Amino acid sequence: MIAVPDTSVVVDGRFKALLLDKDFIRDLERIVIAEATVAEIEHLANDGKSSGISGIAELKAIFNLSKEIFVPLEYYGKRPTKYEIAGAKKGDIDSIIREAAMDLGATLITGDIIQKDIAEAKGIDSIYLKPYKKVKLRIEDFFDSETLSVHLKDGIIPVRKKGKPGSIVLDKFDKIYNEDEIKEISLDILERAKTTKDSFIELDEKGASVVQLQEYRIVITSPPFSDGFEVTAVRPVRKLTLEDYNLSDPLMKRLEIAEGILIAGAPGMGKSTFAQAIAEYYASLEKIVKTMEKPRDLNVQPEITQYTALEGDMAKTGDILLLVRPDFTVFDEMRVTNDFKIYADMRLAGVGMVGVVHATKPIDAIQRFIGRIELGIIPQLIDTIIFIKNGEVNQVLDLEFLVKVPYGMNEADLARPIVEIKDFYTKTPLYEIYTYGEQVVVMPLKARRKETSPMKKLALSKLKEKLNSELGMPFELEAVSDSRIALYVKNDDIPSIIGKEGKNIKALENSIGFSIDVRPMEKSKPEKKGRIPVQVDFKEKYIIINVEKKFTRKNVKIFIEDDYLDEFSVPKSGKIKISNKNPLSEQIEDGIMNGKNLYIIL
């Protein structure tokens, strides 16, 4: 028997393994390798494809093995043209190899079922080798139940990340692996990816391969792309649902109606895990959900179809999705300008979008759109920004489009369209985005407002002291502007506050240096059951909420009138400190300046 192996069984070692079968080599007269097979392997290797590199190694092994088993090895035919090599995926090379087997009256050895069927249709004897299998992946040996990722590089101590986002530790192995061992692990991964269910080679370029091997996302790199052979494997440790994040009721209600969501956070903070949870949440609401990923690494339920870049172009994927008409699409890892334009195009077409972007701060997620998308359109594209830090929802932002005078400007003719970024829970404006000349300005509001805060606090403090010492009547205060304060008193007390010919009110105004508007006080709201009033001290760097020590080590909820702010654990001192950098600090300050009361409830 003359054996003519094709490329499919050479590159993955199946033909080499067949030569070790005594029953097979008993009737083997000679081995003939078509020049077309050599040319295809050489082309793959020159392109840096891992299959080409492994194919050359297999050709060497077959040559050496033929000597050991005393079976002649020959090469047959002419080298194919570059056009025939380019058409390898269309069957041009397979056709040349079949013709070689026919000319020689040989048996074709193949691992391609289509190649086998066509050969038999032409009367060519053939042997089909089933996919190469191993019981266990070498890469799996590096994982345990807590491992997130494994990092292997030739000549370097392998490491693995264990834990969860925000509390990850680096665990080192004892053995150092050389280049040949890393190559062996790589080839094993690639062979399994071709034959294992739910596995595929996502990308195979010069010096880099991306493989999905069941639950493992694996990147294999080699020179010239990297300075050495490296294998990085990532595996989700556990799957989360939205319930696992303990989201507040207001945020859950927002997700029910939101249609333009951005999930932002630094690398490794858990953005994709949260995106997977949102995708499955919308699927549970009987929504049609798809994903756009390159590579496809979201761990979602089978009902959610995962799309990658069609022919390397996400724009083509977007065109397909517009025909499919999903209710929601999760666009994982938006990086380049075209990604943001595709997100905008699909959102404006009416598709609910969930985009995932890298950002070190919540506002950075919006800044990724500036300059790529027209500023006035951004609020139509994005209604909710969710910032993930250490695997948890750290902050949620809300967007609103307004026409107003930017903060810090006074003239009415300076009014312009503004995108206002607010804290979702407190509704406190945090940033204003607008055009100024040819520039787009992202203006933080908190620092600007803080400049006048000490003056307002001093004025209110003086006025309170004056009224408490002289009048002894109930009153409320509100800071109307930087130079005017509203004083609310009962109707019966208004004459005594103003005085004859306004003498009393003028004295008060001269005392504090501010104009005072005297207004009738509305009927006070009855204090709700269980609410305990507390006092606040304003310091340079923080505010202090003074709570009775009997509540030490208990959790209390903080309210400004009827507005819930947050929950805190009362320290041993009974003093809850909130940094002035925290948006809550500003909300409490503004509330108190406007005459509102601060409460706690157990």
Of 261, 210, 206, 205, the residue nearest 234 (C-alpha): 210
Least confident of 173-177, 406-410, 488-492: 488-492
Average pLDDT for 476-488? 68
Same fold for the domain at 2-128 and the one at 139-234?
Answer: no
Confidence band for 527, pLDDT divided at 50, 70 and 90: very low
| 3.30.1240.10, 3.30.1330.10, 3.30.1550.10, 3.40.50.1010: CATH of 2-128 | 3.40.50.1010
Total count of residues recorded for the chain = 602
- What's domain 242-446's superfamily in CATH? P-loop containing nucleotide triphosphate hydrolases (3.40.50.300)
Who has greater pLDDT, 278 or 81? 278
Least confident of 76-85, 329-338, 431-440: 76-85
Q: Residues with Cβ < 8 Å from 399, sequence gap 6 or more?
A: 366, 378, 379, 382, 383, 384, 385, 419, 420, 421, 422
The CB density around residue 256, as the number of other CB atoms within 10 Å, is: 10
Model pLDDT, residue 526:
40
Classify residue 225 by its DSSP letter.
Answer: T
Q: Which residue has the tokens 């951004």?
A: 378
Report the distance separating Cα 65 and Cα 401, nearest Å. Answer: 73
Least confident of 153-167, 172-186, 378-392, 455-469: 455-469
Mean pLDDT estimate for the chain = 84
What is the per-residue pLDDT across 367-400, written as a single tens digit (0 to 9) for each? 999 989 998 899 999 999 999 998 889 999 999 9
Who has greater pLDDT, 101 or 514? 101
Report the distance separating Cα 45 and Cα 56, nearest Å. Answer: 8
What is the per-residue pLDDT across 413-468, written as a single tens digit (0 to 9) for each? 888 999 999 999 888 899 999 998 888 899 988 544 444 445 555 556 666 666 66
Domain ranges of the chain: 2-128, 139-234, 242-446, 453-520, 532-601
DSSP string, 24-64: HHHT--EEEEEHHHHHHHHHHHHTT-HHHHHHHHHHHHHHH
The angle formed by the CA atoms of residues 407, 410 and 414, to the nearest 5 degrees, is 85
Contact 10, 94 (CB under 8 A): no
Average pLDDT for 241-270? 91
Q: What topology does CATH give the domain 453-520?
A: GMP Synthetase; Chain A, domain 3 (3.30.300)
Q: How far is CA 596 from CA 34, 382, 526, 563, in A?
A: 88, 33, 13, 10
Torsion angle in degrees (nearest 10) through CA of 435, 438, 442, 443? -70
